[in-house]
Structure 1
Amino acid sequence: MPYPQFNRSQLRLQPLANRQHDLTLDVMLPLAAGAFAHPSLPAIGRRLAEAKARGAARVLMMGAHVLRAGAQRHLIDLMERGLVSLIAMNGAGPIHDWEFALIGASTESVARYVSSGEFGLWDETGKMNDAITRGVRDGMGLGESVGRAIAEGFFPYKHASVLAAAYRLKIPVTVHIGIGYDIIHEHPNADGGVLGRASYTDFLVFAEHIRKLEGGIVLNFGTAVMGPEVYLKALAMARNVAHQRGERIATFTTAVFDLLPLGDDYHAQAPKTDPRYYYRPWKTILVRTVADGGESFYVQGDHKDTVPAVWGAATAAAEAP
């Protein structure tokens, strides 16, 4: 006998105009490198420029808080310059992107709105589900579906949209969701089959892109689970095919940017007695996947500092004679 399921027709949606927003587009940073410095940055910038020159993958994985930090201009410019060839997000990333593009604001107080039962139940944000459904009908993944809707729809602040810029530039933004993780999954028009199809399409796009990682680079900004896990599975798939062809995907660069202090000896994973052993970016991105000939870097810092700094290092390297 089936278990009872929540009846979403009982939900009351409200317009975004009724919500108090924690962030506006005033958070967007100017397109400049900033003052942040780290000894690994010049090498990371060179690797991005070198990967572009050889046509290898330049992958940037990110948590949604990179957008909340105001790094939109830097991400868009990196794509426009060809220094980033794919961006991977979790499910919250497109939601912030959509809201910023639509109303110039995003982010609500969980404490305030979960208490009243209003958290996430905003009418205009839920329209993302309809855009994803239309995209899936056209064979698109989740990122391209949302990017097209923003690029071609009435979004007064679409200049701030990373997904719309990617759609315009024909650069994939892949979105890797977990059902129930994101506020649009609360809405009556959410279709789990459509969301799963859209995100799985994006996973296959990501995995195909990783096939070009030899001589390339993967950057991971603040995604502690989605980024490392999706990258790990995609790399296993890409190496499986490469090995059958007598090829290797081994000589590439990875870099992790986050707040956790790892110390200087991050090229060997922490022992299991150390709680940091379970920090996936360290053992997966910085150690295990580059063990056959790659290199890795760790940069500790806030995204509002590190993203502009990487942009500055990469653009300087690309423009160097």
Structure 2
Amino acid sequence: MKIQPIDLSGVKTYPIAERRNKVSIARDFAGDITAGMSVASLVAALPHQLGGESFKAVVETVVSAREKGRPVVIAIGGHVVKCGLQPVLKRLIEADVITAVAMNGSASIHDYEISLIGETSEDVGAVLHCGTFGMAEETGRDINRALKAGLPEGLGYGRALGRFIVDNDNPHREFSLLACCHEKGIPATVHAAVGTDIIHQHPDCDGAVLGEATFTDFRLFTAVVATLGNGGVFLNIGSAVIMPEVFLKALSIAQNMGHHVDHFTTANFDMTQHYRPLQNVVKRPTAGDSRGLTITGHHEIMIPLLAAAILDRLR
């Protein structure tokens, strides 16, 4: 059978005025961008849709949380520290915006090296095959000794290392998040996976000490997560695996013990939206009456913009 092109003369149309549209000038378009405008005005001028709407929602929820005395917790991966964002995050800590900091092992190592020598992040490819990758003496020696010194006092990984940086007056301690948290007196936890960090290669490493220190921090982090209900905010920034997994387990324990963490907001900031952050931070924890948001972009751009927008609003 020969098929002929369909005749469109019988198609029925309707007036565009009767159509419902998802985008309108009045509701969704960007505002006027002018020279010298404030950060708050710039954020307000972002289009009211997609990433612009999500970004403004994060700013609003963080500002609302702090105005109501609710916690704002950040979890970070090592890349956040390598991007040089400690001054930005430190400013938020000092302004009482961030109330707790959690990080993976690599973030703690970069934070320590920055505090010690003002530099970090060796060229792995250049030294891997000669057997010197990760073998810097001071990094492994100092961090492992800090954990051993803190263990008898019941200190977790984060506080023990933050105290060590302060007590030893590391030359660049003002750039350390762990030192800042120690001096500010807010929880700073480090969540190590054994075998993932260069300090585990060092002769001073003691698996029992490492495990006890990071387990203490897991329990402390769980206590922090238990307070997120009724307006708290949890931001995962640049950790694709460790921190989303730790957050999910901490939340499960908190719920199991009757804390009923609900009515809170989560957001995942990353250059690419990965499976675990989307499931374990944005979707699963907020399945009830909470909200999960995603912000996709480079940390070195999005985090300073977020901090400036929050500080502008709180001012």
Same-fold call, TM cutoff 0.5: yes
- Number of paired residues? 268
Instruction: Indicate which of 288, 299, 309 corresponds to 2:305.
Output: 309
Distance 2:55 2:241 in 1: 24
Q: 1:49 aligns to what?
A: 63
Identity over aligned pairs, percent: 37
Q: Is the 8 A contact 1:44 1:314 kept in 2?
A: no
C-alpha deviation, 1:151, in angstroms: 1.1
Q: Which runs of 5+ in 2 are unaligned?
A: 1-37, 47-51
1:257 is aligned to: 269
Of 101, 114, 120, 1:100 maps to 114
Q: Which residue in the other structure is 1:66 paired with?
A: 80
| Residue 137 in structure 1 maps to residue 152 in structure 2 | yes
Post-superposition offset of 1:241: 1.9
* Counterpart amino acid of residue 125 in structure 2: A
Task: Select which of 290, 293, 316 maps to 2:289.
Answer: 293
TM-score (structure 1 length as normaliser): 0.80
Higher relative contact order (CA 8 A, sep 6+): 1
1:207-258 CA-partner distances (Å, limit 9, x unpaired): 0011111110110111111111111011111112226xxxx32111011111
Secondary structure of the 2:194 match is coil
In structure 2, the CA distance between the partners of 1:33 and 1:72, relative to structure 1 (3 Å rule), is farther
Offset of residue 56 of structure 1: 2.2
**Cα offset, 1:33, TM superposition:** 6.9
Partner of 1:238: 254
**Structure 2 contact 178–188 (Cα < 8 Å) conserved:** yes
Asked if the contact 1:33/1:308 (under 8 Å) is kept, the reply is no
* Cα deviations by residue, 1:41-71 (Å, 9 ceiling, x for unpaired): 2221221122223332211011110011111
Q: Which amino acid aligns with 1:211?
A: A
Q: What is residue 216 of structure 2 aligned with on the other side? A: 201
Give the whole-Å Cα distance in 2 for the aligned partners of 1:55 and 1:139.
28
Larger radius of gyration: 2
| Root-mean-square deviation (Å) | 1.8
Do the aligned residues in 1 keep the contact of 2:93 with 2:99 (CA within 8 Å)? yes
Q: Which runs of 5+ in 1 are unaligned?
A: 1-31, 262-275
Write out aligned runs for 1:81-230 (5 A).
81-126=95-140, 127-214=142-229, 215-230=231-246
CA distance in 2, matches of 1:102, 1:287: 39
Residue by residue over 1:113-139, the C-alpha shift from the partner in whole angstroms, topping out at 9 and shown as x without a partner, is 111100111111112100111011211
State how far apart, in whole Å, the 1-side matches of 2:117 and 2:148 are. Answer: 22
Separation (CA, whole Å) in 1 of partners of 2:207 and 2:70: 34
